Chains A and B, each alone.
Chain A
Amino acid sequence: MKLRIQNGRLIDPSQDINAVVDLFIENQKVVAIGEAPDGFENADILDAAGQWILPGLVDVAVSLREPGFTQKGTIASEGRAAVSGGVTTLVCPPNTRPIVDTSSVAALIQDKADEAGMANVFPLGALTQGLAGEQLSNMVGLTEAGCIALSNHRNPMASTKVLSRALEYAATHDLLVVFHPDETSLSEGGCAHEGLMSTMHGLAGIPEEAETIALMRDLLLVEKTGVRAHFARLSCAKSIEMIADAKASGLDVTADVALHNLLLTDQVLDNFDGHYHVLPPLRSDEDRLTLIEGIKAGVISAICSDHQPHEKMAKIAPFAATEPGMANVEIILPLAMQLMDEGDLDFATVLQCLTSGPAACFGLEAGSLAVGSFADFILFDSTARWTWSYEGRKTKGHNSPYFGDELVGRVMSTYISGQRVYQVV
């Protein structure tokens, strides 16, 4: 099958392209940009006039909830939500039930994802058995079964010694480890950024040192062991400095942030709305602005939705008793557009952090429409005004503070390997 996409504006940060050009697809891959190659005279034509053609998004944190928590979401429901948000490749965390600490669970997730036919799914494997932080998982076996990297999620390690050995073992086999820096003795019981808002509202605070102390320890161990490392969901200004320093000293590390930490601060906690209960917490405006600076400076190379769907009851409780997390994967792009409303960032930088940036962190062949790449792309109407409604959502999750908001910019259709998997009806 041959497909010519014409009249659209192709924006691809991986190739530094932002121009109205045609895109040519054959056998699931991009074969040319601009001039038609031979044999495309009778190709199918997709008219993208007035729309942007973007590489499919790469989201490094989408909880699919299956197996184990299908009341919150399934691989099929969250895969559908992902592609409706323009996400064609996603990484899912290991905290399912059973946990992704055996090859069979990793295989199950990928089989179900293939069956659903939605986004390309890459599970993270558990760094330790049962995420208990005590015994190492079969890291090599998990990797062979398709796990893209290993992580102990937000669960603590039993000791720094176990962590150190896990990293040495991972380094032996050149495996990537994903860190969620969190010193649990400081964050335990907390539900909000330690600051004026949490103090005023009597909510137990999570100090920034919960993140930075763990981050410093992790960086020292990364330096010692030489393990490949990615730091996930950084939330503090100081963390950005620490990653920048580590990079400057030659350490090969990457980092991501959750989109909501770029958009919101702890000021939203005024009414105790549990929809704003996330971990790590929404922090101060200074933190938020420093995260944005980190993106501009290339210290942060990925923005993720940190999609965590929940059943309705999970948020029907006083703030601290609600389960943390938001389910925003299907509006990740219009939300990211809001970063530019402030004049903080240009679109190419934001898009890079949603495509080739995260792909590079995890060594994924995705997030680019360069000739030879799989034709994972989206058509995006950057001026469409629409309202994301609770009734119209694709996720099984009930938890987003954005239901009912008017958004600017809408994913009109999503293609994976040249095949359409989603279209606005």
Chain B
Amino acid sequence: MMRSEPRALQLNEHGQLKHFLTLDGLSHAILTEILDRADSFLSMGEQSVKKVPLLRGKTVVNLFFENSTRTRTTFELAAKRLSADVINLNIETSATSKGESLLDTLKNLEAMQSDMFIVRHSDSGAAHFIAEHCTPNVAIINAGDGRHAHPTQAMLDMLTIRRHKGRFEGLKVAIVGDILHSRVARSQLQALTTLGVSDVRLVGPKTLVPSFFAEMGATICHDLEAGLKDVDVVVMLRLQKERMKGALLPSESEFYRLYGLTEDTLAWAKPDAIVMHPGPINRGVEISSEVADGRQSVILDQVTNGIAVRMAVLSMAMSGQLQSEDGAATGDEK
């Protein structure tokens, strides 16, 4: 009766990544492989010659339907350090014929014989859609789709945690703020639970933290002190100004008073807790400047780690594509 069997759309017949769409369904082993590989690329970043030839001769297209300078730039750097040729395309989505233009855009890019699309789109499921409708042998990397997933961001966060804490088991992690609209939080929660963190707290008012997240393995806290109590890692999320208009919050000042991370509220966490933020930061809205620039902040490490994680993911997906025999996961006539 339940018709949908979760297809392993992003894995080839050997169980290797051939796309990177979501962390949902990926094993502990694959996540660890991404982290290990990223670690090895990190040490390479410190050398004078920063390139490896893993993607030499491959064409990578940065396909951004939503603006994001930082994510696009780190993907571009990652692809270039793997010796790929990189094209950047920023495409405004037309509200009237979103699907049509998306498909048409894809067909055009396929005709240019690209090998990999790195996709950011405002619709949840856009990367899945592209992976299903794209010609085989093109690897699709999700650089953020709607509220659904931002798997490379979550993996760079995992790398940052592992490099600072050395482990995942036994850690307590708090994710604070606008969980409802956050693809980052969703992917982080999946990564953390897969990697063995059993105490993940989502902190915010009910309007921003729907109760359904409890069924995904998180603990929901509406009180910041309870949420931060003795945690090892604090993740602050960006609060968009339009949330006030949507009647989700009364004001920035009340949000900051109740959920903002300051030196005082951070004191509830463990003394050696690290503070992360996927950026861009709203100083004085979700986090104080003192904390963002303070000794516990690892926000800039996250950016550095982002390049290494993206190199790891791009190289793994390309290798999985090349080793995929069928390569025929095309959409059927439905």
Residues on A lying within 8 angstroms of B by beta carbon are: 195-196, 199-204, 263-265, 267-273, 275-276, 313, 315-322, 338, 341-342, 390-391, 398-401, 403-404
Contact = CB atoms under 8 A, between A and B. Distances in A.
Contact of A318 (B126, B183, B216, B332): B126
Contacts of B128: 271-272, 318
Which 5 A-B residue pairs are closest in the complex by CB-CB distance? A317-B99, A272-B125, A202-B147, A202-B148, A318-B123
A200 B216 CA distance: 8
Contacts of B215: 196
B121 A318 contact: yes
Interface in B130-157: 132-133, 145-149
B129 A272 contact: yes
B6 A203 contact: no
A399 B124 CA distance: 20
Among the interface residues A263, A267, A318, A320, which one has the most CB atoms of the partner chain B within 10 A?
A318
B2 A267 contact: yes
A321 B98 contact: yes
Instruction: State which size class the interface on B falls in.
Output: 35 or more
Given A195-B212, A202-B149, A390-B334, A269 B123 contact: no
A403 B334 contact: yes
B103 interface: yes
B186 A202 contact: yes
Contacts of A320: 123-125, 146
A270 B128 CA distance: 10
Given A195-B212, A318-B126, A401-B334, A271 B9 contact: yes
Given A202-B124, A320-B124, A196 B102 contact: no
Among the interface residues A195, A321, A322, which one has the most CB atoms of the partner chain B within 10 A?
A321
B1 A318 contact: no
A166 B50 CA distance: 73
Contact of B334 (A196, A201, A391, A400): A400
Interface string B150-166: 00000000000000000
B53 interface: no
Contacts, number: 112
Contacts of B147: 202-204
Given A202-B148, A403-B334, A318 B99 contact: yes
Nearest to B24: A200
B212 A196 contact: yes
A174 B147 CA distance: 48
B265 to A, nearest CB: 27
Given A196-B212, A202-B186, A317-B102, A270 B148 contact: no
A315 to B, nearest CB: 8
Contacts of B98: 317-318, 321
A200 B186 contact: yes
B15 interface: no
Contacts of B242: none
B3 interface: yes
A334 to B, nearest CB: 14
A200 B332 CA distance: 26
B100 interface: yes
Given A275-B334, A390-B333, A400-B334, A268 B100 contact: no
Interface string B86-130: 000000000000111011000000000000000001011110110
B245 interface: no
B19 to A, nearest CB: 13
Nearest to A314: B99
Given A270-B6, A271-B128, A403-B334, 16 more contacts: A202-B147, A264-B2, A268-B2, A268-B4, A271-B132, A316-B99, A316-B100, A317-B103, A318-B98, A319-B124, A319-B129, A320-B124, A320-B146, A322-B99, A390-B334, A401-B3
Contacts of B149: 202
B7 interface: yes
Nearest to B186: A202
A363 B333 CA distance: 39
Contact of A272 (B1, B124, B186, B213): B124
Contacts of B121: 318
Given A316-B133, A318-B124, A321-B99, A202 B146 contact: yes
Nearest to A312: B333
A318 B106 CA distance: 13
B124 A270 contact: no
Contact of B216 (A196, A267, A338): A196
Contacts of B212: 195-196, 199-200
Nearest to A263: B1
A231 to B, nearest CB: 25
Contacts of A318: 98-99, 102, 121, 123-126, 128-129, 145-146
16 contacts: A199-B210, A202-B148, A202-B186, A203-B124, A203-B125, A267-B2, A267-B4, A271-B128, A318-B121, A318-B123, A319-B123, A320-B124, A342-B1, A390-B333, A390-B334, A403-B333
A319 B125 contact: yes
A401 B5 CA distance: 13
Contacts of A401: 3, 334
Interface string B3-25: 11011010000000000000010
Contacts of A403: 333-334
Among the interface residues A272, A316, A342, which one has the most CB atoms of the partner chain B within 10 A?
A272
A271 B19 CA distance: 14
A198 to B, nearest CB: 8
Given A264-B3, A271-B4, A313 B125 contact: no
B1 A271 contact: no
A195 B129 CA distance: 22
Contacts of B332: 404
A202 B145 contact: yes
Contact of A313 (B99, B132, B148): B99
B240 to A, nearest CB: 15
